[in-house]
């Protein structure tokens, strides 16, 4: 990965979104979800047996290449039966063909907003998806 101010900003903002997503998920579901994160998974939820039941991929852009990458990551790292979610910025429109692909692949869409301090996650109003 290239170095420079843009890369540092991307990484720090990406982390803020993942933090906001974790908080959002803890508020919308089981009392204490077993949250996992590693080099391949932005965030996941495991059940009591240690099986991944939810997978979230955060992209700080809704650009076509970022959505393609997010879909690929969700499909590769999400086991069968796992609910998959792509998390994109609310300020960017998603191209209609990409929204259709998410529906066909049964990938939920969550949106986020960032301010100077932190992030906010919410369900995509167009699709009504929720965790």
Question: What fold characterizes domain 5-123?
Answer: Trna Endonuclease; Chain: A, domain 1 (3.40.1350)
Give me the residue spans of the domains in the chain.
5-123
Q: For the CA atoms of the chain, what is the radius of gyration?
A: 14
Report yes or no: 99 and 2 within 8 Å, Cβ to Cβ.
no
More confident residue, 31 or 28: 28
Condensed to tens digits (0 to 9), the pLDDT of residues 62-76 reads 999 999 999 999 999
Q: Looking at residue 124, what is its pLDDT? A: 57
Condensed to tens digits (0 to 9), the pLDDT of residues 95-110 reads 999 999 999 999 999 9
Q: Looking at residue 17, what is its pLDDT? A: 81
Kindly report the average pLDDT of the chain as a whole number: 80
Q: Looking at residue 127, what is its pLDDT? A: 40
**Given a cut of 70, is residue 3 above it in pLDDT?**
no
Among 65, 50, 57, 74, smallest CA distance to 98 is for 65
What is the model's pTM? 0.80
Q: In this structure, how many other beta carbons lie within 10 angstroms of the beta carbon of residue 18? A: 20
What is the distance between the alpha carbons of residues 122 and 4, in angstroms, rounded to a whole number?
31
Alpha-carbon distances, residue 49 vs 37, 46, 52, 53 (angstroms): 17, 8, 9, 10
Q: Looking at residue 60, what is its pLDDT? A: 85
**Given a cut of 70, is residue 11 above it in pLDDT?**
no
**Given a cut of 60, is residue 16 above it in pLDDT?**
yes
Confidence class of residue 24 from pLDDT cuts 50, 70 and 90?
Answer: confident
């Amino acid at each position: 990965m290239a170095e420079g101010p843009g890369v540092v900003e991307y990484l720090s903002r990406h982390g803020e979104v993942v933090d906001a997503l974790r908080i959002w998920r803890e508020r919308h579901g089981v009392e204490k979800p077993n949250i996992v994160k590693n080099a391949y998974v932005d965030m996941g939820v495991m059940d009591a047996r240690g099986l991944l039941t939810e997978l979230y991929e955060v992209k700080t852009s809704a650009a076509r290449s970022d959505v393609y990458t997010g879909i690929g990551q969700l499909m590769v790292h999400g086991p069968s039966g796992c609910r998959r979610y792509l998390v994109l910025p609310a300020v960017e429109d998603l191209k209609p063909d990409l929204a259709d692909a998410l529906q066909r692949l049964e990938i939920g869409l969550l949106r986020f907003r960032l301010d100077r301090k932190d992030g906010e996650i919410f369900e995509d109003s167009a699709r009504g998806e929720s965790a």
